[in-house]
Amino acid sequence: MKKINFLYSLAAIALMWVVWLIAAAAVKNEYLIAPVGASVKEFFTLFENAFFWRALLQTFARTIVAFLISFALALVCACLAVAFKPFAAFMRPVTAFFRTLPTMAVLLLILVWLTPRTAPVAVAMLVLFPMIYSQLSDGIAGIDGGLLQMAKVYGIPLSRRLTSIYLPHLAPIALEQTGAGLSFGLKLIISAEVMASTRTALGGIISEAQAYINLPRIAALTLVAVVLGVLIEIVFRVIADNAFGWKRAVKYD
């Protein structure tokens, strides 16, 4: 099954590549659609530039910071929701509100209060927090009710239940979602950096390339973001499979 899924993924990548080639050949205007050859050349040229590496590292650092803070807050809130049902009810409209916020409009407001270096992190946190909280809450809802009832019957303290039942159950879910969360966070950070014209950042380079209508560079930087996001998801998927694959085997057996 994994080999078949991998082949489907390769077919999807090949199809998108062919569509790009056909569109570029049909339009024949590098100011509308970036030429494939020039974009690929620019992609490899980027890695020879020291400024690009600094920008990449700073963008990735912002992504990690935004994700870790969002995850920590979401985990604390999920644990509080387990301990106090009124808090769970309180969090439902809060997370719904954050999910409906228009990202770009919020970024423009945040730029009034924060700098272009910190605003992308704040914007990413506003989007990541409700997403991660919902994932953790759904994971908690999937815990065996009989096990929880037995823990109550035997008078196991809430702190012990959190560390011995809830957190071990959430660990595989959290690890599986970390790759997707970081990949999504990277996209959010870069988009916010473009809007904020953040210097020494991938988004800042894209914004500068857009000002000079340098479509091959924009396409190359987009490819960098896509490749990095895919690699992050693959790495964490492999880690999750090796660390918790036995749980899936037990579940499906």
The pTM (predicted TM-score) of the whole model is: 0.82
Q: Do 124 and 234 reside in the same domain of the chain?
A: yes
Instruction: Tell whether 3 and 55 lie within a shared domain.
Output: no
224 inside domain: yes
Domain span holding position 3 = 1-27+36-42
Same domain, 7 and 85: no
Residues 196 and 152 in one domain: yes
- Look at the block and give the residue holding tokens 């106090």: 84
DSSP 3-state of 186: helix
* Predicted local distance difference test score (pLDDT) of residue 248: 47
Written as six digits, the tokens of 193 are 């950096």
207 lies in the same domain as 99: yes
Q: What is the pLDDT of residue 52?
A: 93
pLDDT tens track, the chain, 253 positions: 556 666 766 777 788 878 878 887 888 777 778 888 888 899 999 999 999 999 999 999 999 999 999 999 998 888 788 778 888 888 888 888 888 888 778 888 888 888 888 999 999 999 999 999 888 887 776 666 676 677 667 677 767 776 777 777 777 777 777 888 899 999 999 999 998 888 889 999 999 998 888 899 999 999 999 999 889 988 888 887 776 554 544 443 4
Same domain? For 164 and 236 the reply is yes
Buried/exposed 198-234: b ≥16 CB within 10 Å, e otherwise = beebbbbbbbebeeeebbbbbbbbbebbeebbeebbe
User: Cβ neighbours of residue 182 under 8 Å, at least 6 residues apart?
Assistant: 63, 64, 67, 232, 236
Q: What's the pLDDT score for residue 8? A: 63
- Here the CATH number for the domain that contains residue 211 is 1.10.3720.10
Tracing tokens 């964490």 back to the chain, one arrives at: 236
pLDDT score for 252: 39
